[in-house]
Amino acid sequence: MNKAIFLDRDGVINFERGYTHQLEDFVILPDVMEVLQLFLKKGYLLIVISNQSGIAKGLYKQSETEVLHKYMLEEFSKNNITISEIYYCVHHPDVSRCICRKPDSLFVEKAIARFHIDASQSYFIGDKERDTEAGEKAGVKGILIEANTPLKNILNQVN
């Protein structure tokens, strides 16, 4: 069985500014590369799970999200960081119903099954309670951080 670190995107990986969808606004937080490298060295898979409700609301297109994710993966690759998968929900309850939007745990459960993850040895790092709640529904330990704060602050919480 594998173990994983599940990560929210906005506020955890990149600077949270509200509906980040343009490349010029996508700024990876300062210590993210270093901390993700440490997680990989500890044997964790890295999986991003993000709500992107701006798509459902018509604020931006799914293609813009794909551009950001491609850029993010390229930047990670330059730093020898592999993201096993990015799952993102394009829905919002005011516009469309779904079971993939956090705090629901569908994407966490999908990743657990797909990558043979031991949930009890895994963590979900997020800046909103819905992030950690999604992980905890699937048996993953939640770590709640303040948006845009250094990930180094939580290293002592990850085995």
CB 7 within 8 A of CB 50: no
Q: Which sequence positions are flagged as catalytic?
A: 8, 10
- The string of DSSP codes covering 3-42 is EEEEE-SBTTTB---SS--SGGG--B-TTHHHHHHHHHHT
Contacts of 34 (CB under 8 A, 6+ apart): 152
DSSP state of 82: -
In angstroms, the CA 134 to CA 104 distance is: 5
Q: What number of other Cβ atoms are within 10 A of residue 58's Cβ?
A: 9
Beta pairing class for 123-126 and 44-51: unpaired
